[in-house]
Structure 1
Amino acid sequence: MQNVGLGFRKDIYKDILKLEDENRPAFVELAPENWIDLGGFWGGVMREVAEKFPITTHGLSLSIGSPDPLNWEFIKKIKSFLKTYNVQVYSEHLSYSHAQNAHLFDLLPIPFREDAVKHIVQRIKEVQDYLEMPIALENVSYYTPVAAEMDEATFIRSIVEESGCNLLLDVNNVYVNAFNHNYDATAFIDALPLDKVAYVHMAGHTQVSEDTIIDTHGEAIIDKVFELYTATLPKLKEVPVLLERDFNFPEMTEILTEMQTLDTIAQKAWKKTLHHA
């Protein structure tokens, strides 16, 4: 794989560590809070991962949109982790999961409002200054807007441009939101600051009714999401692409087929030639 990585999950860690040659991911991604301070067996696995693959990170706990103060003890651990494992990409969600000192174990939507933009921009700047690197924030799936004063694309663009952060473009999340909220996915992507995309996520979802899709990361990518991905990549500079699969894992051969499809589309979009070992 030249551009495509795979989410490193404990359920399939043995299969990932065995991958070599043309099946080898370009990188693996993990949630740092699931690996920070681990010793023993899993600490050893973490060291082996770092020896075999470049690592990117996709966090779950920064809670950048929260009204609560930033958790600087946690951010200090993140910085140490990034340095220890030479992580070049630290991404997070444009959402929040902490409120009134409670961890909600979900990624909640932020109101698309100017006061929210200002609040989040200041927090991003503080985190980036401390980490000494830009962070990449992901457009998230949501199921109801909250007190919106602007459209989502304008909200995202304002945050990215005013904070100097990068954008993690989750193509499946765009498709899910476009389906659930009845808007044009391509027009939405075109309204984003595509020059700031530093990373792309691709995943599957679950349609639970005629008019509702849930972003699950537990199914294969559908053709319409592949089509949106194919149409989007030529608009971007060359960036890492990640296949997310969080549960309901098929055989590794099926995962590799999806990764190879993503990689082939990326090479065509960015005019590269595939080379196999």
Structure 2
Amino acid sequence: MKTSSQVGLGFRREHLDQFQPGQLPQVDFFEVAPENWMTLGGRLGKAFRAYTEAHRFIAHGLSLSLGGITPLDQDFLKQIKAFLDLHQIEWFSEHLCACSDAGHLYDLMPIPFTDEAVFYVAGRIRETMERLDRRIAIENVSTYLAHGHTMSEAEFTCAVLAEADCDLLLDVNNVYVNSINHGFDAQAFIEAMPTERVRYIHIAGHHRETEHLIVDTHGAEVDEPVWALLAHTYRTHGPLPTLLERDFNLPPLAQLLQETETIRHYLQQSHPLSAEAC
């Protein structure tokens, strides 16, 4: 799938009433959070199974807490693996962050960009891949506070990818959000990512609080600067599978499909450049 110009859409429960399994040929793949689906049974469980039998699905985790301080939840990993196996989902990704302490924090919390954190998080990623029996991708997350950093986010991300020997889910919107919030060059971040590790791309909308503060909401249309950064990403790394995230303020399906067609337009217009990556 990585070598083709495919367009994906985040699958939400509302979509069960908006199209039938086997329809929507303009969407090449769907993404789900296992946490939202793996405990469903009955009518909803059967309905979801019909969609995964008819379409290609990938999975994007929300709560493994790869950067957390408590041991990885082994029972939870078993649940995720069973879900992936049942629905024949090969691709799994998670956030490069912490989201738990003594309990779940229900947010994606930043972790310090340090050498120690590189080795710590990479070890947990390797353990996750072993337990899931899959190579996984990690996603760069949006952050609003910088603490204890001894390297840049780009340097940290590259170091974790190399140490863990895993792939990258490159969230272009998060790169743009962080570039405004923390004052760095978004294009330079994109160029620093190793092309051979970028498995696929996320793009989404955000909310601008102030001139220097953007919140990653997944609740609005993709903003023009993010489209421009996506085009730069394709010029740098070539066309890659790209997924539209929309979690809140869900518009009619037809409106979402207009945005996925915009992604397809940029993919078709992309021309890779040779760029040196870490």
TM-score range, shorter chain: over 0.9
Please name the residue that 2:83 is paired with: 81
Q: Does 1:11 align with 2:5?
A: no
* Deviation readout 1:118-170 (Å, 9 max, x if unpaired): 11111111111222211100000000112111111110000001111100000
Please name the residue that 2:176 is paired with: 175
Please name the residue that 2:161 is paired with: 160
Distance between the aligned counterparts of 1:12 and 1:35, measured in 2? 13
**Does the Cα contact within 8 Å between 1:97 and 1:107 map onto a contact in 2?**
yes
Distance between the aligned counterparts of 1:115 and 1:126, measured in 2? 17
**Does the Cα contact within 8 Å between 1:3 and 1:239 map onto a contact in 2?**
yes
**Does the Cα contact within 8 Å between 1:33 and 1:59 map onto a contact in 2?**
yes
**Does the Cα contact within 8 Å between 2:22 and 2:54 map onto a contact in 1?**
no
Distance between the aligned counterparts of 1:66 and 1:219, measured in 2? 29
Please name the residue that 2:189 is paired with: 188
RMSD: 1.7
Q: Does 1:63 align with 2:65?
A: yes
**Does the Cα contact within 8 Å between 1:8 and 1:16 map onto a contact in 2?**
no
1:138-157 equivalence runs, <5 A: 138-157=139-158
Distance between the aligned counterparts of 2:269 and 2:257, measured in 1? 18
Please name the residue that 2:32 is paired with: 30
2:174 counterpart SS class: helix
Please name the residue that 2:276 is paired with: none
* Residue 257 (structure 1) shift: 0.7
* Residue 76 (structure 1) shift: 0.7
Please name the residue that 2:129 is paired with: 128
1:17 counterpart SS class: coil
Structure 2's unaligned 5+ residue stretches are 273-278
* Deviation readout 1:213-252 (Å, 9 max, x if unpaired): 1000000001110010011113225432100000101222
Aligned residue identity for 2:8: G
**Does the Cα contact within 8 Å between 2:5 and 2:239 map onto a contact in 1?**
no
1:34-53 equivalence runs, <5 A: 34-53=36-55
Structure 1's unaligned 5+ residue stretches are 272-277
In the superposition, relative to structure 1, how do residues 2 and 187 fare at CA in structure 2: closer, same or farther (>3 Å)?
A: closer
* Residue 15 (structure 1) shift: 1.8
Q: Please give the TM-score of this superposition, normalised by the length of structure 1.
A: 0.92
Equivalent residue for 2:96, pick from 94, 97, 117: 94
Please name the residue that 1:199 is paired with: 200
* Deviation readout 1:192-222 (Å, 9 max, x if unpaired): 2232000100000011122211000000001
**Does the Cα contact within 8 Å between 1:217 and 1:245 map onto a contact in 2?**
yes
User: In the comparison of the two structures, how many residue pairs are matched?
Assistant: 269
Please name the residue that 1:112 is paired with: 113
Please name the residue that 1:274 is paired with: none
1:220-239 equivalence runs, <5 A: 220-239=221-240
1:241-256 equivalence runs, <5 A: 241-256=242-257
Distance between the aligned counterparts of 1:16 and 1:203, measured in 2? 22
Please name the residue that 1:267 is paired with: 268
**Does the Cα contact within 8 Å between 2:21 and 2:51 map onto a contact in 1?**
no
**Does the Cα contact within 8 Å between 1:139 and 1:156 map onto a contact in 2?**
yes
Aligned residue identity for 2:6: N
Distance between the aligned counterparts of 1:199 and 1:227, measured in 2? 17
**Does the Cα contact within 8 Å between 1:2 and 1:26 map onto a contact in 2?**
no
Aligned residue identity for 2:243: L
* Residue 176 (structure 1) shift: 0.4
In the superposition, relative to structure 1, how do residues 16 and 60 fare at CA in structure 2: closer, same or farther (>3 Å)?
A: farther
Distance between the aligned counterparts of 2:34 and 2:134, measured in 1? 16
